[in-house]
Structure 1
Amino acid sequence: MSEDFKKVLEQQLWNIANTLRGKMNADEFRDYILGFIFYKYLSEKMDLFANEILKQDNIKFRDITPKTKDGAEFIEAIKEEALDKLGYFLKPEELFAEVAKRGQGDNEDDVDKFDASKTNFILEDLQKILINIQLSTMGTDSEEDFDNLFEDMDLNSSKLGKTPEARNVIISKVLTHLDKIDFKLEENDHSSQQENDILGDAYEYLIGQFASGAGKKAGEFYTPQEVSKILAKIVTTGKKKLKSVYDPTCGSGSLLLRVAREVQDVGNFYGQEMNRTTYNLARMNMILHGVHYRSFDIKQDDTLEHPQHIDQQFEAIVANPPFSAQWSANPLFTSDDRFSQYGRLAPGSKADFAFVQHMIYHLADNGTMALVLPHGALFRGGAEQHIRRYLIENKNFLDAVIGLPANIFYGTSIPTCILVFKKCRENPEDILFIDASGSDHYEKVKTQNVLRTKDIDLIIETYRSRTEIAKFSKKASLEEIAKNDYNLNIPRYVDTFEAEESIDIDAIANELKALENDIKSTDATIAQFCKELNISTPF
Structure 2
Amino acid sequence: MTQDVSFSTKTKQLIDSLKNVCANFGLGNDGNEFKIITQVFLYKYLNDKFRFELKKQKPKLAEVENLVQSLAAMEEEEYNFLLAGLDPSVVRLKPHQLISYLYNRQNKDNFGKTFDDTLRQISVENADVFSIKSSSGAKDKLFDELSQFITDPSQRDAFCRAIINKLFEFSFDESFEDYFQEKYDFFKDIFEYLIRDYNSDSGGKYAEYYTPNAVARIIANILVAGDVKQIRCYDPSVGSGALLMSLAHKIGENNCTIYSEDISQKSSTMLRLNLILNNLTHSIPNVIKTNTITQPFYLNKKFDYIVSNPPFKLDFSDFRDELEKDSFRERFFAGIPKVPKAKKESMAIYLMFIQHIMHSLNETGKAAVVVPTGFITAQSGIEKKIREAMIGRKMLRGVVSMPSNIFASTGTNVSVLFLDKQADPNKIVLVDASKLGKTLKEGKNQRTVLMPNEEQRIIDVMNEKRAEEDFSVVVTADEIITKNYSFSAGQYFEVKIKYVDITAGEFAEKMKSYTDTLDSLFAESHRLEEEIKKQLRGLRYE
Q: Same fold (TM over 0.5)?
A: yes
User: Separation in 2 of the partners of 1:199 and 1:147?
Assistant: 30
Kindly report which structure 2 residues correspond to 1:125-204, keeping only aligned pairs within 5 A, or say none: 125-137=114-126, 140=128, 147-150=139-142, 154-158=146-150, 163-166=152-155, 168-183=157-172, 188=177, 193=181, 195=182, 197=184, 200-204=187-191
1:78: how far off? 4.8
Partner of 2:196: 209
TM-score by length of 1: 0.77
Per mean C-alpha deviation after superposition, the further-off stretch among 166-175 and 365-374 is: 166-175
Deviations 1:131-174 (A, max 9, x none): 11121136x5666579434456643224xxx6345455455334
Deviation at 1:322, TM superposition (A): 0.8
Q: Is the 8 A contact 2:8 2:190 kept in 1?
A: no
Matches within 5 A, 1:244-263: 244-263=232-251
Alignment of 1:527-538 (within 5 A): none
Structure 1 residues 331-346: aligned runs within 5 Å: 331-336=323-328, 339=331, 342=333, 344-346=335-337
8 Å CA contact retained: 2:103, 2:164:
yes
Match of 2:39, as an amino acid? G
- 1:356 and 2:354 matched: yes
Residues in 1 aligned to 2:39 and 2:373: alpha-carbon distance in whole angstroms: 36
Greater displacement, 415-424 / 230-239:
230-239
SS at match of 1:412: coil
Partners of 1:87 and 1:142 within 8 A in 2: no
- Match in the other structure for 1:96: 99
What percent identity do the matched residue pairs reach?
21
Q: Deviations over 1:454-511 (max 9, x none)?
A: 2222211221122222222222332332233224345433579999xxxx89779999
Give the SS at the match of 2:251: coil
How many angstroms does 1:30 deviate by? 3.0
Q: Deviations over 1:264-316 (max 9, x none)?
A: 44321111121112212212221232224367611110111111122222221
Distance 1:472 1:269 in 2: 34
Q: Quick one: structure 1 residues 347 and 388, their matched pair in 2 at CA, closer, same or farther if it must change by over 3 Å? A: farther
Equivalence for 1:37: 41
> In the alignment, residue 43 of structure 1 is paired with which amino acid?
N
| 2-structure distance, mates of 1:176, 1:315 | 46
Counterpart secondary structure, 2:205 = helix
Q: Quick one: distance in 2 between partners of 1:402 and 1:20?
A: 45
Letter in 2 for 1:248: P
Q: Which residue of 2 aligns with 1:429?
A: 426
* Deviation (angstroms), 1:95: 0.9
Over 3 Å counting, the alpha-carbon distance change for 1:295 and 1:28 in structure 2 is closer
| Equivalent residues of 1:400, 1:431 under 8 A apart | yes
Q: Distance in 1 between matches of 2:38 and 2:323?
A: 41
Report the CA distance between 1:388 and its aligned residue. Answer: 1.6
Q: Aligned to 2:297, what secondary structure does the other structure show?
A: coil
Structure 2 Cα separation of the partners of residues 192 and 169 of structure 1: 31
Counterpart for residue 5 of structure 1: 6
- Equivalent residue in structure 2 for 1:277, among 266, 272, 276: 266
Q: What does residue 390 of structure 1 align with? A: 389
Query: Does structure 1 retain, via aligned residues, the 8 Å contact 2:50–2:93?
Result: yes
| TM superposition score normalised by structure 2 | 0.76
Distance 1:510 1:228 in 2: 60
Shift of 1:319: 0.8
- For these two proteins, the number of residue pairs brought into alignment is 483
Partner of 2:29: 25
- Are the aligned partners of 2:428 and 2:477 in contact in 1 as well (CA < 8 Å)? yes
Per-residue deviation, residues 506-532 of structure 1 (Å, max 9, x unmatched)? 7799999xxxxxxxxxxxxxxxxxxxx
CA distance in structure 2 between the partners assigned to 1:311 and 1:55 by the alignment: 46
Q: Secondary structure at the match of 1:155?
A: helix
Q: Does 1:318 align with 2:307?
A: yes
Contact 2:425 2:476 in 1 (8 A): no
Please point out which of 421, 439, 442 is paired with 1:443.
Answer: 439
Q: Which amino acid aligns with 1:40?
A: K
Compared CA separation, residues 308 and 492, structure 1 to 2 (3 A): same
Distance change (3 Å), C-alpha of 1:127 and 1:134: same
Query: What are the Cα deviations for residues 96-120 of structure 1, in whole angstroms up to 9, with x where unaligned?
Result: 23324544x5xxxxxxxxxxxxx97
* Partner residue in 1 for 2:282: 293
Q: Which of 293, 303, 327 is the equivalent residue of 1:304?
A: 293
Measured in 2, the distance between the counterparts of 1:288 and 1:404 equals 29
| SS across alignment from 1:486 | coil
Question: Paired residue for 2:416?
Answer: 418
From the superposition, tell whether residues 316 and 177 of structure 1 become closer, same or farther in structure 2 (CA, over 3 Å). same
CA distance in 1: counterparts of 2:229 and 2:385, whole angstroms: 36
Q: CA 1:264–1:90 in 2, change beyond 3 Å: closer, same or farther?
A: closer
Among 191, 197, 214, the residue aligned to 1:226 = 214
- Are 1:9 and 1:202, in contact at CA under 8 Å, matched by a contact in 2? no
User: Distance in 2 between the 1:505 and 1:241 partners?
Assistant: 70
1:3-40 CA deviation, whole Å, 9 max, x = no partner? 32344245424433542574432864332222111101
Tell me, what secondary structure is at the counterpart of 2:266? helix
CA spacing shift, 1:210–1:50, aligned 2, 3 Å: same
Between the aligned partners of 1:338 and 1:101, the Cα distance in structure 2 is: 61
Q: Structure 2 unaligned runs (5+)?
A: 340-346, 499-509, 519-542
Residue 479 and residue 54 in structure 1: after superposition, are their counterparts in 2 closer, same or farther (change >3 A)?
closer
SS at match of 2:417: strand
Deviations 1:422-471 (A, max 9, x none): 0101x311432211222x43332332323232222221122112222222
Give SS of 1:278's match. Answer: helix
Question: What SS is found at the alignment partner of 2:409?
Answer: coil
Q: Which residue in 2 is equivalent to 1:486?
A: 485
- Residue 524 of structure 1 corresponds to none
Moved more, 90-99 or 329-338: 329-338
Tell whether the 8 Å contact from 1:240 to 1:263 is kept in structure 2 after alignment.
yes
